[in-house]
Amino acid sequence: MSAPSAPPSFRVWAVPGLPEVQPGDDLAKLIVGAGPGLVDGDVVLITSKIVSKAEGRVVRASDREAAIDAETVRVVARRGTLRIVENRQGLVMAAAGVDASNTPAGTVLLLPVDPDASARQIRDGLRDALGVSVGVLVTDTFGRPWRNGLTDVAIGAAGVRVLDDLRGGTDAHGNPLSATVVATADELAAAGDLVKGKAEGLPVAVVRGMSHVVAGSGPAGAGASDPAAGSGWEGARAMVRGAADDMFRLGTSEAVREAVTLRRTVRDFTDEPVDAAAVRRAVAAAVTAPAPHHTTPWRFVLLESQTSRVRLLDAMRDAWIADLRDDEKSAESIAKRVRRGDFLRRAPYLVVPCMVMDGSHAYGDVRRDTAEREMFVVAAGAGVQNFLVALAGERLGSAWVSSTMFCRDVVRDVLGLPDGWDPMGAVAVGHAAAPPVARAARDAGAFIEVR
């Protein structure tokens, strides 16, 4: 009978004796000089600060905020002076990773330009100097949503299986694993931070006993070199969740501003079906708009079947053609104008927002009655704007056009709407077939008058 195998374990320790890092230093040589006693399968954890210093990412900045601005791609959330942003490396973190600690006064440290490339260079240097196959992680300190406290995570990796995809396997009870992908590199980074500390001046740590996650070492199957991309070995960049899969991409007070920015007029859609529940959530946002006299002047007619969409669009087209003929437009001009609305037929989902004036006041005075209707029209527009922004937050494209306003009787008749419902255009909804075209910047000051 064979002896039971030892339970899994690993050892982690900090590497003392590294000198103060200067621009141009070879980090692999400095680590070798500290005598870490590396062997095949070890994982070397290196604080990003010394990588930045060696790569000359120390810049003069009398204003740290300006340096953060320069490194920021997208502001996710802001509270006072604190900003959570997406930086040039694609990482979502506080202050874009710009650090004013452990650097001379009047300077700041920026993150390495390409942390994965930095990790590869250090790994190659260690292999050349010591003849060992190790993994290298470049680490940095992150806060986490919903959790107090900081921890280290991997922002650069070489020779380490950063993600361990267990999907398709089973647990100890035989239950299928359908969503379990372990962030191995982040777990290693956090383990290293326990011994490196934040103020002890120990920027490098070594983990031993995890050779099964190091390329070119450990049990058979690990491979003689880094396996192909897509298998968890492709670097720490693989750990950054893409925008399409990020359920929490929008921040706090920035959520509305970001959704407004995302909102575009989209006229070209894919064939992907629209989630009816998402549209209903957008309607729920629409009806929070302000309205006069505590009224609710919004109604949204959802055309979810192709039959209803075609029937409405055919009737509207016929009415439009009749109007254009009455205006003595040429056949060519009529055909051209009608073609402009063809995108409505290609949209997988249509919504007809309507205004109702239930609760409005009748004054018997033209001026006041006109103003009363205008208040309701403004409220209807506010509701539609909420609707469009909420659709953008659901990652749905939309186009609001005025077409139904020119044939309201036709629309009411085809859709069986009450006489008091005034169609306020039509909204085409779907998944955009292409990324939105960059919007020209507008200076808000050009639209402001101060008195």
Predicted confidence (pLDDT) per residue in 169-223, tens digit: 777 777 777 667 889 999 999 999 999 977 678 999 999 999 999 998 654 334 4
Dihedrals phi, psi of 125, to nearest 5 degrees: -65, -40
Tokens standing for residue 207? 């983990």
Q: Which carries the bigger pLDDT value, residue 173 or residue 333?
A: 333
Crossing angle between the packed helical segments 366-393 and 276-286, to the nearest 10 degrees:
140
Q: Are 12 and 195 in contact (CB under 8 A)?
A: yes
- pLDDT at 187 (0 to 100): 96
Q: Is the pLDDT of residue 376 over 60?
A: yes
Report the C-alpha gap between 322 and 57 in whole angstroms. 68
Q: What is the residue-wise DSSP string for 279-339?
A: HHHHHHHHTTS--GGG---EEEEEE-SHHHHHHHHHHHHHHHHHHHHHTT--HHHHHHHHH
- pLDDT at 229 (0 to 100): 43
Q: Is the pLDDT of residue 28 over 60?
A: yes
pLDDT band at 340 (very low <50, low <70, confident <90, very high): confident
- pLDDT at 220 (0 to 100): 39
Helix (H, G, I), strand (E, B) or coil at 65: helix
Neighbours of 269 (CB within 10 A): 23
Q: Is the pLDDT of residue 39 over 80?
A: yes
Neighbours of 28 (CB within 10 A): 22
- Mean pLDDT of the region 339-356: 92
> Any idea what DSSP says for residue 405?
G
Q: Is the pLDDT of residue 91 over 60?
A: yes
- pLDDT at 224 (0 to 100): 39
Give all domains of the chain, ordered by start, each with its CATH number.
11-57+112-245 (3.30.1330.100), 254-447 (3.40.109.10)
Q: What percent of the chain has pLDDT over 90?
A: 61
- Mean pLDDT of the region 373-384: 96
- pLDDT at 350 (0 to 100): 97
44 φψ region: left (φ > 0), alpha (ψ -120 to 50), beta (else): beta
- Mean pLDDT of the region 22-41: 95
Q: Are 67 and 59 in contact (CB under 8 A)?
A: yes
Q: Which carries the bigger pLDDT value, residue 28 or residue 435?
A: 28
pLDDT band at 128 (very low <50, low <70, confident <90, very high): very high
- pLDDT at 221 (0 to 100): 39
Order of strands, edge to edge, in the sheet holding 72-79?
72-79, 82-87, 92-94
